[in-house]
């Protein structure tokens, strides 16, 4: 280690496994930004389900070990590398990706993955934008190609991506239905753009949705838990309807015949497949949402860096999610 180099606290993963492999170290060298990179002093970092899959080693993309998880940070620019003209030291920013990992006091990011954070949003909200809003936008506008006047069901609407999808869908003129498993979650969904909400723990909630939408069915379903809901989803769709699979935690048996009468589609959504140009487009829409005011991240559970293993347990095992889970580093 270089003498005199600044040190920071950061979570490191040395082997894939359960939440216990997330270890806190206080002797990690603060990275130095290179060409087209910025160093951010992290105030908050979003926790996303995908980070638990990566940590467990079951995800398709595996980082080289050891690594620090976390892509969605919000904070202040500490230093900029060469050829960075968009940002300067002291700017408030949020990210959609990091190079060095976000579960840390400082994070390195490529300048094209960093965005200005408006004064009206705090750092917690800034850390709740990245994966949730960019994924929801990609699912709805880019992949499902929704049109104003269509209907959308957000299946699992009270978490980070779900609430983002409700806000975006409402802003773009869709009829928005959502599901949640608690009264608090249902109220949150209604407050964030849904016209109607259903309790997915009720045995007959699918019948209630069918009754609400009538013969036509639902044009688009944003699906957070496809391994539980996909078969039901296919029976809820309209002609030409599409299920956007944002999340799934295992296999499910479906009858492919259910896609035939309505010529419906099942489409996977992977934010990391977005090109630089697509990210630019999504960012422009999301930035407009912040300015106009429809983009309002809702913060759920908050954890310190020391409690990150608990956060990883809770995001998978705690049902009845309300809002976006974040790590606080202030």
Establish if 242 belongs to a structural domain.
yes
Cβ neighbourhood burial of 287 (10 Å; 0-12, 13-18, 19+): middle
- The pairing of strands 37-46 and 73-80 is antiparallel
Same domain for 13 and 75? yes
Same domain for 112 and 238? no
Q: Which of 203, 205, 201, 202 has its CA nearest to residue 177? A: 205
Instruction: Please give the Cα distance from 91 to 78 (Å, whole number).
Output: 8
Same domain for 302 and 268? no
Helix %, strand %, coil % of the chain (to 5) = 35, 30, 40
Among the three residues 272, 287, 319, which one is the final residue of a domain in this structure? 272
Establish if 187 belongs to a structural domain.
yes
Establish if 286 belongs to a structural domain.
no
Question: Domain range spanning residue 184?
Answer: 132-272
Q: How far is CA 114 from CA 37, 66, 314, in A?
A: 9, 24, 28
Same domain for 161 and 267? yes
Same domain for 222 and 173? yes
Buried b / exposed e over 84-121, threshold 16 CB at 10 Å, is: beebeeebbbbbbbbbbbbbbbbbbbbbebbbebeeeb
Tokens of 46: 């979003």
Establish if 281 belongs to a structural domain.
no
pLDDT in tens, 115-131: 999 999 999 999 999 99
Tokens of 88: 């300067």
Tokens of 132: 């949730």
Per-residue pLDDT, 321: 74
Per-residue pLDDT, 37: 98
Averaged pLDDT in 10-residue chunks for the chain of 330 residues: 79 98 98 98 96 94 96 98 97 98 98 96 98 98 98 96 98 98 96 97 96 96 96 97 95 96 97 95 97 96 97 88 91
Establish if 39 belongs to a structural domain.
yes
Q: Which of 157, 158, 94, 161 has its CA nearest to residue 131? A: 161
Per-residue pLDDT, 1: 46
Same domain for 240 and 306? no
DSSP codes, 174-234: -EEEEEESSHHHHHHHHHTT-SEEEETTSTTHHHHHHHHH-TT-EEEEEES-HHHHHHHHH
The CATH number of whichever domain residue 160 belongs to comes to: 3.40.50.720
Number of domains in the chain: 2
What stretches of 66-126 show up as alpha helix (H) in DSSP? 123-126
Give strand pairing partners of 79: 39
Same domain for 203 and 181? yes
Q: Which of 131, 127, 125, 95 has its CA nearest to residue 113? A: 95
Same domain for 250 and 153? yes
Establish if 280 belongs to a structural domain.
no
Among the three residues 255, 272, 289, which one is the final residue of a domain in this structure? 272
Same domain for 206 and 108? no
Same domain for 159 and 174? yes
Instruction: Please give the Cα distance from 152 to 166 (Å, whole number).
Output: 9
The CATH number of whichever domain residue 113 belongs to comes to: 3.90.180.10
Same domain for 36 and 139? no
pLDDT in tens, 262-299: 999 999 999 999 999 999 999 999 999 999 999 999 99
Establish if 288 belongs to a structural domain.
no
Establish if 284 belongs to a structural domain.
no
Same domain for 261 and 138? yes
């Amino acid at each position: 280690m270089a003498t005199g180099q600044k040190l920071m606290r950061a979570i490191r993963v040395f082997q894939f496994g359960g939440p216990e492999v997330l270890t806190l170290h206080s002797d990690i060298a603060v990275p130095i930004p290179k060409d087209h990179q910025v160093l951010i002093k992290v105030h908050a970092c979003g926790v996303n389900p995908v980070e638990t899959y990566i940590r467990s080693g079951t995800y398709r993309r595996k980082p080289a070990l050891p690594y620090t998880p976390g892509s969605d940070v919000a904070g202040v620019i500490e230093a900029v590398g060469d050829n960075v003209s968009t940002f300067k030291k002291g700017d408030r920013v949020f990210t959609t990706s990091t190079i060095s990992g976000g579960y840390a006091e400082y994070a390195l990011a490529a300048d094209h993955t960093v965005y200005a954070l408006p004064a009206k949003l705090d750092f917690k909200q800034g850390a709740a934008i990245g994966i949730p809003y960019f994924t929801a936008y990609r699912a709805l506008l880019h992949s499902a190609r929704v049109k104003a006047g269509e209907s959308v069901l957000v299946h699992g609407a009270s978490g980070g991506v779900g609430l983002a999808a409700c806000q975006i869908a409402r802003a773009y003129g869709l009829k928005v239905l959502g599901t949640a498993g608690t009264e608090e979650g249902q109220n949150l969904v209604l407050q964030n753009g849904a016209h109607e909400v259903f309790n997915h723990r009720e045995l007959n909630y699918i019948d209630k949705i069918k009754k609400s939408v009538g013969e036509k069915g639902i044009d688009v379903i944003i699906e957070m838990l496809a391994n539980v809901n996909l078969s039901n989803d296919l029976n809820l769709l309209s002609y030409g309807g599409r299920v956007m699979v944002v999340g799934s935690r295992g296999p499910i048996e479906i009858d492919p015949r259910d896609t035939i009468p309505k010529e419906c589609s099942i489409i996977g959504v992977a934010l990391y497949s977005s090109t630089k140009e697509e990210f630019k487009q999504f960012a422009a829409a999301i930035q407009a949402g912040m300015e106009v005011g429809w983009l309002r991240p809702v913060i759920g559970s908050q954890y310190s860096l020391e409690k990150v293993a608990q956060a990883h347990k809770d995001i998978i095992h705690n049902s009845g999610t309300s809002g976006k889970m974040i790590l606080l580093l202030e």
